[in-house]
């Protein structure tokens, strides 16, 4: 399918979603949110997709919401934002629940919704020149894009409040220290590095990765005992999958497993 605001490609088990509005800093418009939801559905439903990479075209990852489109909506802004946030959130929900790990290749500034997208990914690689800023309250707005869910869980409540209330700008080295990204690479190399990680994951036990995502995403809502019960059920379920059987057999035979994602 052809999209107006993003590019979508699948190769070697890796789906690459590229926000493609470089002349608008890849800002999240209503159409972009809708198309993101659509490609997230494709990722979730395509068994050939075993890892996902998110990146931006040009020099920006995503500079946040398209404020011009909000202003042009006039009295319809409230309805427009509810629809737009709903589409964005549906896409994020699908990616959170698809077994395929999701990696952000942060090729430049990630602000507002762009920062939220980075926090929603399972892993993140950023270039040295990348900067991160929540920015929402600078425009008199509150955060969306799942950031109020993921950010406290991944970096803690105090740091989250500082980013959201004070709009502190983080450089890439600070983002690495804070746990916002996993790696920092030279400028121009984020997509290459994220692609290498994605291809490695795409050859792994996809269903087991999905179980990891599910367990971690829900861990803050569980007691110790309930979380351990979910762990017990998940590992038991994984043991009877094709990849689980192959992994056990390969370990005993002292060879590298050949996982198929099933």
Label residue 65 left, alpha or beta by phi (over 0 means left) and psi (-120 to 50 means alpha): beta
CA distance 125 to 118: 9
Catalytic residue among 144, 173, 187, 243: 144
Pull the structure tokens for residue 240: 């009877």
Q: Is 66 exposed, middle or buried (0-12, 13-18, 19+ CB in 10 A)?
A: buried
Of the candidates 113, 88, 79, the residue with the CA atom closest to the CA atom of residue 34: 88
What are the backbone dihedrals phi and psi of residue 250, each rounded to the nearest 5 degrees, phi first?
-65, -40
| Cα 156 from Cα 5, distance rounded (Å) | 33
Is-catalytic flag, 89? yes
Q: Is position 44 annotated as part of the catalytic site?
A: no
User: Which of 89, 157, 173, 243 is the catalytic position?
Assistant: 89
* Distance (Å, whole) CA 202 – CA 5: 26
Task: Show which residues are catalytic.
Answer: 89, 144
């Amino acid at each position: 399918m052809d999209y107006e605001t993003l590019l979508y490609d699948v190769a070697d088990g890796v789906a690459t979603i590229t926000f493609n509005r470089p002349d608008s800093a890849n800002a999240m418009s209503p159409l972009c949110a809708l198309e993101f939801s659509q490609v997230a559905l494709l990722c979730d439903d395509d068994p050939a997709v075993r890892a996902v990479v998110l990146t931006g075209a040009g020099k920006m990852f995503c500079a946040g919401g398209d404020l011009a489109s909000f202003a042009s909506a006039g009295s319809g802004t409230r309805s427009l934002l509810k629809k737009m946030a709903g589409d964005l959130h549906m896409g994020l929900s699908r990616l959170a629940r698809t077994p395929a790990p999701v990696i952000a290749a942060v090729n430049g500034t990630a602000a507002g919704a762009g920062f939220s997208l980075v926090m929603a990914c399972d892993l993140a690689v950023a270039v040295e020149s990348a900067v991160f800023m929540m920015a929402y309250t600078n425009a008199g707005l509150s955060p969306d894009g799942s950031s109020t869910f993921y950010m406290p869980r991944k970096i803690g409540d105090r740091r989250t409040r500082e980013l959201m209330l004070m709009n502190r700008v983080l450089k890439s080295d600070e983002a690495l220290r804070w746990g916002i990204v996993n790696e920092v690479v030279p400028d121009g190399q984020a997509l290459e590095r994220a692609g290498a990680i994605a291809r490695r994951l795409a050859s792994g036990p996809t269903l087991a990765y999905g179980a990891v995502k599910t367990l971690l995403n829900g861990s803050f809502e569980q007691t110790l005992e309930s979380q351990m019960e979910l762990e017990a059920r998940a590992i038991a379920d994984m043991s009877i999958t094709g990849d689980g059987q192959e992994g056990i057999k390969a370990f005993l035979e002292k060879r590298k497993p050949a996982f198929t994602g099933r």
